Amino acid sequence: MKKFVLAIHGGAGTILKKNMTSEKEDAYHEALREALEAGKDILNKKGTAIEAVAVAVSVMEDSPLFNAGKGSVYSNSGKNEMEASIMEGEKLRAGAIAGVRNVKNPIQLAKSILFDDDFVYLIGQGAEEYADNRKLEKVADEYFQTQFRKEQWLAAKGEGRILLDHDADKKFGTVGAVALDIDGNLAAATSTGGLTNKRYGRIGDSSVIGSGTYANNKTCAISCTGYGEFFLRAIVAYDVSCLMEYKELSLKEACEQVVMKKLVEMKGEGGLIALDSAGNFEFSFNSEGMYRGVTGSELDLKTYIYK
């Protein structure tokens, strides 16, 4: 059997051990392990990379620890507005959604769109109607309204600030996954609740194919996490693929060029997870830490938080 690989992230940012309790640290490791085990189970049963990344991301969406799904932050109007995208590397099919509320697992809605040849990107009420037609699970507003996120939003709103994520120490809790299945196909998926106290229907890079998510069997699969405006302007995910395809850089070299040079020069903070068609993977980030992990047919399951 050919090998398979799955890598995930739960966000990057100023994640310092001195600010982390052992209980919270354990909780993050356990959440990452649960997502990796769910995705690995799919791949181990000869499932597709698309199925694996969607399942892994769904598990993280179900955890209040990450800024996606249940743990999504509040917008300026006190709503939980989510975005997600998914892409497969064989035929370059993709699905994306933004400005969505009440959909329990946004990545599953994006996945449904990926398999519909009529659409790639749906937003707002239309995306929610599409979810209803596909009988995807919907939940009430209260499902997303965690006390921690509410307190964070009220503090930000009172101070007139837009927070990058869930603490004053700048964390980007976006979640994502990349996978290589036994058929040699790549896939990538990303999901987020965006920025705390965001306004005007703001959308970041997580739902934008080429910026926050990209997959191509010729090159790599990428899922990003960071300050979305910079990742949009730098077209980060596709840029890594382009450097590999047109300049014949290795996965590691391409990630270093984009994350550690291009983004740094733009003062863009964050990172990405990357996987190529040979099963090489990279965790590339210019922040203090990134919740992340990897597993595979020839790899022990490992999770990490700090540099």
Instruction: Determine which one of 48, 174, 196, 213 is catalytic.
Output: 174
In whole angstroms, give the CA distance from residue 36 to residue 196: 27
Backbone angles phi, psi at 217, to 5 degrees: -60, -25
Residues with Cβ within 8 Å of 165's Cβ and at least 6 positions away in sequence, in order, are: 11, 13, 67, 73, 171, 172, 173, 195, 196
Cβ(262)–Cβ(247) under 8 Å? no
CB 240, CB 258: distance < 8 Å: yes
- N-terminal to C-terminal alpha carbon distance within the chain: 33
Are residues 36 and 297 in contact, defined by beta-carbon separation less than 8 angstroms?
no
Do the beta carbons of residue 206 and residue 224 sit within 8 Å? yes
CA–CA separation, 60 vs 54, rounded Å?
Answer: 10
In whole angstroms, what is the distance from residue 236 CA to residue 244 CA? 13
Which residue type does 149 have? R
Token pair for 278: 């040979």
Q: Are 191 and 206 in contact (CB under 8 A)?
A: yes
CA distance 249 to 276: 12
DSSP helix, strand, coil percent of the chain (3-state; round to 5): 35, 25, 35
Asked about 21 being catalytic, the answer comes back as no
Which residue in 268, 247, 267 sits closest to 204, CA to CA?
A: 268
Active-site residue numbers?
174
